[in-house]
Amino acid sequence: MAAALRSAGALLRDRRKWRCHGRRRGPGLCDGGTAGARAESPLARGLWGAAVGCAGSCARRGEGRRGRGTGKGPSPGRGEGVVQSSSRARQPWRCQLNMATAAAATETAQPARSPQPQVQPGKRKPKTGILMLNMGGPETLGEVHDFLLRLFLDRDLMTLPIQNKLAPIIAKRRTPKIQEQYRRIGGGSPIKMWTSKQGEGMVKLLDELSPHTAPHKYYIGFRYVHPLTEEAIEEMERDGLERAIAFTQYPQYSCSTTGSSLNAIYRYYNEVGKKPTMKWSTIDRWPTHPLLIQCFADHILKELDRFPLEKRSEVVILFSAHSLPMSVVNRGDPYPQEVGATVQRVMDKLGYSNPYRLVWQSKVGPMRWLGPQTDETIKGLCERGRKNILLVPIAFTSDHIETLYELDIEYSQVLAKECGVENIRRAESLNGNPLFSKALADLVHSHIQSNELCSKQLTLSCPLCINPVCRQTKSFFTSQQL
């Protein structure tokens, strides 16, 4: 996602000769991240804000989360030394996808498919639905164009002059380059596969933990690829649920990720002109949940054990999260504080065994962003003789383009070789960890028992918020009757 934004930024620089007398609006927010930046003319400024104005999610900001090999020896991407992720490019997770999906990973765009209902085992009609919210990511190369098009058309993420005309141009220009990046990680994003596995484990545990609200059924709601959030809501309404829980898969809240997904729920009902037939509530953040912290700590310890014994205590742990433009932070977005809270709890669990820093990846354009940047930090550490580094994707709960390409290829292979890193590794994403499914189930169970509609934090708008839809969304959730 970040690569898409950088590529779009290049397009904007090529078009600075364009002129437009419209007024540029504030930068929007994006998947995993958010951004907006200025160019020379009003139109160029708007375009730059659009193209680069997405954030994290993709990761945490953007797309949302990596697979492990099953052969003997070190897992793919976990070899000693700098070239730790060369085999990750072959992505063993692709083998877990069905053959139809693998065959669809071609260079040319495929015709749009009608989304199929998510089939889950169970004999009884579901009573409680859990909508797992995320940005999503293209499963095949043929889905990349539509993914980018929806992203650049989203006015929650960015605001452009003549956006309906410019978004298709940007998406078309950037598709080949982004397809190449997805090809490097196996032909597509594994985020849907991991979300499904996590959801299956979650509802199985929930049926045992909370039999009075069972059967539970999970639904996947992505912003930019199928199954879209709106499609998931339609399926939930057809299923006749009594209760619906909008469950963000971003542990740390940002207006550009969780906020955007919650806005989509409000907009759906507002546009169809109907009230929900089910009672809605939301789990809108969970940055310090004990089992989440335990998962991160376990994965860090496991990866530290792979460093040479004599180097282990001097390994620098870099917690990497998708960055945000300071213009967004200064409006009051709580994301930086919540990411910091997660890092602090993880280091508490580890007993502060190693030096560490919180760093930010995927900066785009000339605007001021949260720093220090992950790549600049790696360079700086090497210059100061700290050449054993562990990268930890602290704002993502499963693998996607920002872990598999940006962290594993751009940083752990290319940059590390340039800087003379001795050992650089990346902690495994939470992916299929059974303890993480238990964390998800515990979050939902506790939420059901609390009878709360949302967190207290969600009721507080950013002090300098410029998006009126956010306030309407908050009213939608706080006015529900459980």
Indicate whether 109 belongs to any domain.
no
Q: Look at residue 117 in the predicted model and tell me its pLDDT.
A: 53
**CB-based contacts of 122, cutoff 8 Å, min separation 6:** 215, 217
**Catalytic residues, which ones?**
289, 442
The token pair at 64 is 């949302």
Indicate whether 10 belongs to any domain.
yes
How far apart are alpha carbons 154 and 164 in whole angstroms? 10
Q: Are residues 163 and 36 in the same domain?
A: yes
Q: Are residues 273 and 339 in the same domain?
A: no
DSSP 414: I
Indicate whether 161 belongs to any domain.
yes
Q: Are residues 345 and 387 in the same domain?
A: yes
Q: Are residues 244 and 128 in the same domain?
A: yes
Buried b or exposed e, range 156-189, using 16+ CB within 10 angstroms: bbbbbbebeebbeebbebbbeebbebbebbbbbb
**CB-based contacts of 430, cutoff 8 Å, min separation 6:** 65, 295, 296, 299, 397, 398, 436
Interval 187-235: pLDDT, tens: 999 999 999 999 999 999 999 999 999 999 999 999 999 999 999 999 9
Indicate whether 74 belongs to any domain.
no
Indicate whether 79 belongs to any domain.
no
**CB-based contacts of 100, cutoff 8 Å, min separation 6:** none
Q: Are residues 300 and 420 in the same domain?
A: yes
The token pair at 26 is 């504030």
Q: Is 312 exposed, middle or buried (0-12, 13-18, 19+ CB in 10 A)?
A: middle
Give whole-number Cα distances, 381 to 197, 372, 387, 419, in Å. 37, 12, 7, 9
CATH number at residue 249: 3.40.50.1400
Cα 441 to chain centroid, rounded = 20
The token pair at 6 is 């950088």
Containing 209, the helix (H) or strand (E) segment is: helix 191-209
Q: Are residues 465 and 443 in the same domain?
A: yes
pLDDT in single tens digits along all 482 residues of the chain: 555 555 555 554 444 444 343 333 333 333 333 333 333 333 333 334 444 444 333 433 445 433 334 333 333 344 344 444 433 444 544 444 443 343 444 333 444 454 555 555 456 899 999 999 999 999 999 999 999 999 888 877 766 778 889 889 999 999 999 999 999 999 999 999 999 999 999 999 999 999 999 999 999 999 999 999 999 999 999 999 999 999 999 999 999 899 999 999 999 999 999 999 999 999 999 999 999 999 999 999 999 999 999 999 999 999 999 998 898 899 999 999 999 999 999 999 999 999 999 999 988 767 899 999 999 999 999 999 999 999 999 999 999 999 999 999 999 999 999 999 999 999 999 999 999 999 999 999 999 999 999 999 999 999 999 899 999 999 999 999 88
- Judge if pTM exceeds 0.75: yes
Give the number of other Cβ atoms within 10 Å of residue 153's Cβ. 19
Q: Are residues 155 and 278 in the same domain?
A: no
**CB-based contacts of 368, cutoff 8 Å, min separation 6:** 325, 326, 327
Q: Look at residue 327 in the predicted model and tell me its pLDDT.
A: 87
Among residues 397, 299, 294, 289, the alpha carbon closest in space to that of 346 is found at 294
How far apart are alpha carbons 228 and 220 in whole angstroms? 8
How far apart are alpha carbons 337 and 253 in whole angstroms? 10
Q: Are residues 358 and 311 in the same domain?
A: yes
Tally the domains of the chain: 3
Asked if 416 and 424 touch (Cβ cutoff 8 Å), the reply is yes
DSSP 325: B
Indicate whether 105 belongs to any domain.
no
Q: Are residues 342 and 458 in the same domain?
A: no
Q: Are residues 249 and 388 in the same domain?
A: no
Total H helices, total E strands in the chain: 16, 11
How far apart are alpha carbons 323 and 320 in whole angstroms? 9
Asked if 435 and 398 touch (Cβ cutoff 8 Å), the reply is no
Cα 467 to chain centroid, rounded = 21
Q: Look at residue 5 in the predicted model and tell me its pLDDT.
A: 54
Indicate whether 473 belongs to any domain.
yes
Full residue range of the structural domain in which residue 307 is found: 87-97+289-426
Q: Are residues 376 and 408 in the same domain?
A: yes
Cα 279 to chain centroid, rounded = 26
**CB-based contacts of 25, cutoff 8 Å, min separation 6:** 46, 159
Indicate whether 234 belongs to any domain.
yes
The token pair at 198 is 């996590």
Interval 148-160: pLDDT, tens: 999 888 877 766 7
Q: Are residues 152 and 268 in the same domain?
A: no
